């Protein structure tokens, strides 16, 4: 009746995968924000040029160029995160990761004072 429910144990590999996916989602949200800024700077440049304000248009285009470089860096980060995610999900790495975790737990048990 009032028995305890078993709580599923989360392995360190599962936690690493979840952390990578969270980080990937944050990078995707950041990428969307950069894209919005890019579009806004383009609109500002067009409007300023139409009004004859060349200096403001050039400033907006410089800002746009900076945002484009940030977008390229973000794309690189996203590719790296997705690569790590695929690597952690592969069967080969799961085996290596579990062996490494077992070594750590065995060595920590040995080094604990009694």
What pLDDT score does 79 carry? Answer: 92
Q: How many domains does the chain have?
A: 1
pLDDT of 108 strictly over 60: no
Residue at 4 is within a domain? no
Would you place residue 83 in the very low, low, confident or very high pLDDT band (cuts 50, 70, 90)? Answer: confident
What pLDDT score does 100 carry? Answer: 67
Residue at 108 is within a domain? no
Residue at 36 is within a domain? yes
Is residue 64 within 8 A of residue 42, CB to CB? The reply is yes
Would you place residue 112 in the very low, low, confident or very high pLDDT band (cuts 50, 70, 90)? Answer: very low
Would you place residue 85 in the very low, low, confident or very high pLDDT band (cuts 50, 70, 90)? Answer: confident
30: domain CATH number is 1.10.287.1060
Would you place residue 67 in the very low, low, confident or very high pLDDT band (cuts 50, 70, 90)? Answer: very high
Residue at 75 is within a domain? yes
pLDDT tens digits, residue range 46-63? 999 999 999 999 999 999
- How many Cβ atoms sit within 10 Å of the Cβ of residue 67? 20
- What's the Cα-to-Cα distance from 84 to each of 20, 22, 32, 90, rounded to whole Å? 8, 13, 22, 10
What pLDDT score does 55 carry? Answer: 97
Question: What is the domain range of residue 80?
Answer: 12-102
Q: Is pTM, for the whole model, over 0.85?
A: no
């Amino acid at each position: 009746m009032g028995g305890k429910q078993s709580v599923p144990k989360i392995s360190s590999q599962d936690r690493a995968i979840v952390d990578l996916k969270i980080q990937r989602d944050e990078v995707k949200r950041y990428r969307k924000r950069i894209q919005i800024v890019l579009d806004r700077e383009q609109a500002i440049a067009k409007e300023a040029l139409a009004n004859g304000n060349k200096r403001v248009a050039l400033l907006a285009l410089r800002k746009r160029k900076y945002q484009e470089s940030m977008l390229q860096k973000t794309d690189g980060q996203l590719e790296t995160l997705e690569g790590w995610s695929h690597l952690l999900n592969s069967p080969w790495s799961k085996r290596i990761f579990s062996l490494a975790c077992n070594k750590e737990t065995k060595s920590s048990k040995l080094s604990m004072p009694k």
